[in-house]
Amino acid sequence: MRTRILTVAMCVCSLLSVVSCGQTTQIPNLEAFLEEAFQATLDLHPAQKTQLGMDADLDRWDDLSERGAKEEIRLYRNLLERLRNEFDITQMDARSCLSWRLYEKQLLDGIEALETWGNHAYPVSQMDGWHSRAPYILMQVHTISDLHSAEAYIQRLSGLRPLLDQLRVRLKRSQEKGILLPRFTFDYVIRDCQNVITGRPFDQSETNSPLFEDFCNKIDQLNVSSEKRSNLTNDARQALQSAVGPAYRDLITLLQAQKEKADNRAGVWKLPQGEAYYRYTLRNHTTTDMSQDQMFAFGLSEIERIHQAMRAVMKQVGFAGSLQDFFEYTRTDPKFYYPNTDQGRVAYLRDTERLIEAVNGKVDVLFNIKPEALVIVRPVEAFREASTGNAFYEAPDLKGQRPGVYYVNLSRMSEMPKYFMEVVAYHEAVPGHHMQIAIQQELTHLPQFRRHSDYTAYAEGWGLYAEKLAKDLGFYSDPYSEFGRLAADLQRSARLVVDIGLHAKKWSRDEAIDYLIENTPNQRSDVVQAVDRYCVWPGHATAYKVGLMRIHALRSRAETTLKQDFDVRGFHDVLLREGALPMTFLDEIVTQWLGEAGHVEH
């Protein structure tokens, strides 16, 4: 068994060919092992198979039990032992070496997450959890193209009962360990659960419930006899009534009881080993060794810098008053908002589509490689729109049947100002998350685990970096759109400060809300939702700006080193062609690329 020091040292090998063409000599049995390991892990996560567009296990859900977690830990430990004992990294080429190191890290991270912190992550929240993930999988991911997939959908409806029973066991186990959601977040989760079982066949409404409506719509497109369609519909109705309804009602009962036991302390410092857990989340999300104090100071300095840039925009548009006066003006003037009507929502979607089409037409200036998968814009589904954020991205499947989706939450038009529309579209779609994630999934020269890896600082750092790339392409021509770009940057800086304030400095929820209202132009309702989001996702908000800072530092180093030879498209090849990476690994690759180009002395 080789030490980590040797692992890193031996991997500082030729990366130029890796970055430039993706063709290097691989070690066949390592490739085979990584594929076998990826499939073995996927076998424990049927829902992920469906998200990737695979047909296997369409009728199954993941195992949320303690036994399931132990089985996953055993698998990871077995794979780690094989990885370390069966493969000699001193004989590997650059890409194999990098894959070895990344898979070792992924296994170690998975073991730590499950074994040490498995009970600390909230089993449900308004941002995530099987109570909302399962309906999303069924409605947006599980396609019905034949009788098998239709029957599998019904089996999954029936399977929601044992799945949510396991979820309730996890919630009870967390409670026994002193881990409960902040009281003020329970209503989000309870409402989302209730939305799933509102409508037919759960009550006497004139409208169908979300799952029943989805199933009926999909069955209507199926080429089967009317008798078979009727039988399938009846089977789905029975599964909803006998399994889904009781499962969600039992979950709601437990959540209501836990709400009464919970308190309003917002940060994870209140949990057992809370301080250590927060340090873990920072390390996990940022993939750096920055301390929380360093991040906090960085966030404060960024807020001051962006405030100054915003004052320049104020002068440009001729606004007289303080920065806070300008914030209030942009929050309240109707000219900055689409009407809160169906027509206003349709206009928002269409204008967003035009923005993405326009930026797509210019990305060749910045990129040698582009994704084959398309991206579409879609409103968030009604059952979860009250709890989710204003915008997010879902990756395409591997078959090319489901495009990438940029979701916009149009339930609160007062939180979707026109000046934010450009920057959010560039962040979530092109050249942001869709560009990076879809390209990553299409990197067939990489092992599959690398095509689907996710590191928050890399992904969100790229999203923020993409916002500025759009400016390089000539967008944000309107000063208020430039204000929106700055406001988005400000938002991430202030949320970094709030994340650390909540979880390390013991800020209350109200203190965090007041801080964001004072320092950002966002609506109060949006601010409240943002604070509540980071109460349940500790550490996540720090990764955006830390990732961006590291990417900017790498680009600055490349520009300084290469001078007139710097090619932004080549630099983006370096950032993208190895897929998502921890920031320390990304630094190594850029450093080695510069060195092998003959510009760095060793």
Residue-wise pLDDT tens digits, 173-213: 999 999 999 999 999 999 999 999 999 999 999 999 999 99
CB atoms within 10 A of CB 364: 10
Asked whether the predicted pLDDT for residue 348 surpasses 80, the reply is yes
The amino acid at residue 206 is: E
CA distances from 249 to 180, 258, 383 (A): 19, 14, 16
Handedness of CA 292, 460, 449, 64 (dihedral sign): positive
Asked whether the predicted pLDDT for residue 18 surpasses 90, the reply is no
**Cα-based angle 313, 316, 318 (whole degrees, multiple of 5):** 110
How confident is residue 597, by pLDDT bands cut at 50, 70 and 90? low
Residue-wise pLDDT tens digits, 271-319: 999 999 999 999 999 999 999 999 999 999 999 999 999 999 999 999 9
Write down the domain spans for the chain. Answer: 130-264, 278-548
Quick one: pLDDT at residue 401?
A: 84
Asked whether the predicted pLDDT for residue 602 surpasses 60, the reply is no
How confident is residue 480, by pLDDT bands cut at 50, 70 and 90? very high
Quick one: pLDDT at residue 601?
A: 42
Q: Select from 598, 483, 536 the least CA-distant residue to 270.
A: 536
Residue-wise pLDDT tens digits, 84-109: 999 999 889 988 999 999 999 999 99
Classify residue 272 as left (phi > 0), alpha (psi -120 to 50) or beta: beta
Quick one: pLDDT at residue 595?
A: 87
Residue 251: partners with Cβ closer than 8 Å, 6 or more residues away: 131, 164, 167, 168, 193
Quick one: pLDDT at residue 21?
A: 38
Quick one: pLDDT at residue 600?
A: 46
Asked whether the predicted pLDDT for residue 387 surpasses 80, the reply is no
Portion of the chain with pLDDT greater than 90, in percent: 89
Q: Using CB atoms within 10 A of its CB, is residue 157 exposed (0-12), middle (13-18) or buried (19+)? A: buried
Residue-wise pLDDT tens digits, 208-264: 999 999 999 999 999 999 999 999 999 999 999 999 999 999 999 999 999 999 999
How confident is residue 4, by pLDDT bands cut at 50, 70 and 90? very low
Mean pLDDT of all residues belonging to the chain: 93
Asked whether the predicted pLDDT for residue 7 surpasses 70, the reply is no
Quick one: pLDDT at residue 23?
A: 43
Q: Locate 76 and state its tokens.
A: 């990871």
